[in-house]
Amino acid sequence: AQSVTQLGSHVSVSEGALVLLRCNYSSSVPPYLFWYVQYPNQGLQLLLKYTSAATLVKGINGFEAEFKKSETSFHLTKPSAHMSDAAEYFCAVSVPFSGGYQKVTFGTGTKLQVIP
């Protein structure tokens, strides 16, 4: 069975500072990994995904994440935080399931606060 652990339910950064949101996963098979962002009262928007190609993945809004197999990590970073980045971020892992389907498991989320 797969699982996702997001370290830190709340993270605060100053505007212009580095954003680092941590995600560790557990999977018995090579996984696909995702970061989603959720703004208040909205659905989830895909930020970026890792699907076994390049280990450094670039996404939208200046975010990127690096897949590190040895550390089972997929941390999300952004060099300079903007006020508009304040939201909740979810890491997710997807693995093959019986019948050729994918089973997606989400972490519990990290709320990012950006301080002016």
Partner 1 sequence: DAGVTQSPTHLIKTRGQQVTLRCSPKSGHDTVSWYQQALGQGPQFIFQYYEEEERQRGNFPDRFSGHQFPNYSSELNVNALLLGDSALYLCASSSTISGLHEQYFGPGTRLTVT
Residues that bind partner 1 (CB under 8 A): 4, 32, 34, 36, 41-46, 49, 51, 90, 94, 97-99, 101-109
Smallest gap from residue 93 Cβ to partner 1 (A): 10
In the complex, minimum distance from the CB of residue 19 to partner 1, in angstroms, rounded to a whole number = 19
CB of 43 to partner 1, least distance (A): 4
90 exposure class (CB count in 10 Å sphere: 0-12, 13-18, 19+): buried
Looking at beta carbons only, is 62 or 109 nearer to partner 1? 109
Token pair of 100, please? Answer: 């050729």
Question: Residue 17 or residue 22: which is nearer to partner 1 going by CB?
Answer: 22
Q: What are the tokens at 32? A: 């696909």
CB of 94 to partner 1, least distance (A): 4
d(Cα 96, Cα 102) in Å, to the nearest integer? 5
Of 82 and 97, CB closest to partner 1: 97
Alpha-carbon torsion (69, 53, 8, 83), positive or negative: positive
Q: Are 33 and 27 in contact (CB under 8 A)?
A: no
CA distance 42 to 35: 16
> Toward partner 1, which CB reaches closer, 41 or 84?
41
